[in-house]
Amino acid sequence: MKYAIHAARFLLEQEEAGPGYLIVEDGRFGEITAEAPPEMDIIDYSDYTIAPGLFDTHIHGIGGYDIMDGTVEAVQEISKALLPLGVTRFLPTTLTSSPADLEQAIVSIRKAVETGLSGAQSAGIFLEGPYFTEEHKGAQNPAYFRDPDVAEFHKWQELADGTIVKIAIAPERNQAAAFTKEMSKEVLVSLGHTNATFDCCQELVDAGAREYVHLFNGMRGLHHREPGVVGAALTDSRAYAEMICDGHHVHPQVATHAYATKQDKLVLITDCMRAGNMPDGNYMLGEFPVVMQDGIARTEAGSLAGSTLLLKNGVKNLQAWSGSPLYDVWHRASLSPAASLGLEEQFGSIASGKTADFVAMDDSFNVHATAIAGEIRFESKK
């Protein structure tokens, strides 16, 4: 299959281009030309901006479904719900839970992927926990917290048929450094839900950890005499840092500072739970009742419980707060996530030879069309 997209604007890694024609052939991007390629089908998106598909590397659920439902249906419905929002790749994300529930979720993700997802495609499983500590537990259940265990992880990886690509741990747990040194050979080790010191975090990054979970949330804050987890995340150029840009989890000024500091090592995520794209009301996040009011989800104790953020809105927010070019902010939600997983040669930007995941959207961030590997799987009705 070969065609060209006619569009007003293309968001590239280092600039905006257009108007012009973007060639797509056999599911991959080709060149952008000023003139229409001869004898080729043209898809007219001339009223829209073409951007790389969004890549959400931390998402629990949306549209009333959650990965911890432990069903193939939940994974499939989450996949479908993401496509009209411009998300083409995602990491189905678990929560700290009982061994039985966690294993059921892992098996369900694997089976759903094997069956085939009609919407956004899974790029692997993210285990958020259970190797955390209680001081910054968030909506994770401390009853199941424990020290990291290589043998236990390998059991989960076998259940997942090798598709776990990311795990989050607290650096201060016993054996965390040894676990990280071993596991970082095969997965992205991310640090979060932790009260660790700056030095403890540095020890884990030295051992191979390469990311921090939802920067500023679920972690020891920054102090000028003890930089803590936040200080470690902001000052270590070796590590990526996730961030939730909904304006509730992180103040806009702080988010803008983190963006300026981390630059291409910033990964925009949603941490979205089942209440995303749903009306206010009562929901569950894992084993915890959650109340969503005015789009903000909280536990009964008042703690933030994941988010209801849509990733395109996170981009929209950070671009408005920072005043930075849209092409650069957008890639923090497409290319940076891919790069954090070592997938930047395949996904995350419009470049010749890369997988043709793309979004056609208007100036208000409304998604008109979404394509995966060159196949248009969603198109809105005008």
Active-site residue list: 271
Strand locations in 114-255 (E) = 121-122, 125-131, 164-169, 188-191, 211-212, 240-244
Following DSSP, what letter does each residue of 64-85 receive, concatenated? TEEGGG--HHHHHHHHHHHGGG
For the chain, the residue count is 382
Strand locations in 294-362 (E) = 296-299, 358-361
For residue 361, the one-letter residue type is M
Q: Decide the pairing of beta strands 41-52 and 65-66.
A: unpaired
Residues 2/25, Cβ–Cβ less than 8 Å? yes
**For 100-134, b where at least 16 C-beta lie within 10 A, e where not — what string?**
ebbbbbbbbbbebbeeebebbbbbbbbbbbbbbbe
DSSP state, residue 241: E
Q: Quick one: tokens of 286?
A: 């894992």
Give the Cα separation of 66 and 70 in Å (integer): 8
Q: Judge if the upstream peptide bond of residue 130 is cis by omega within 30 degrees of 0.
A: yes
Residues 75/93, Cβ–Cβ less than 8 Å? no
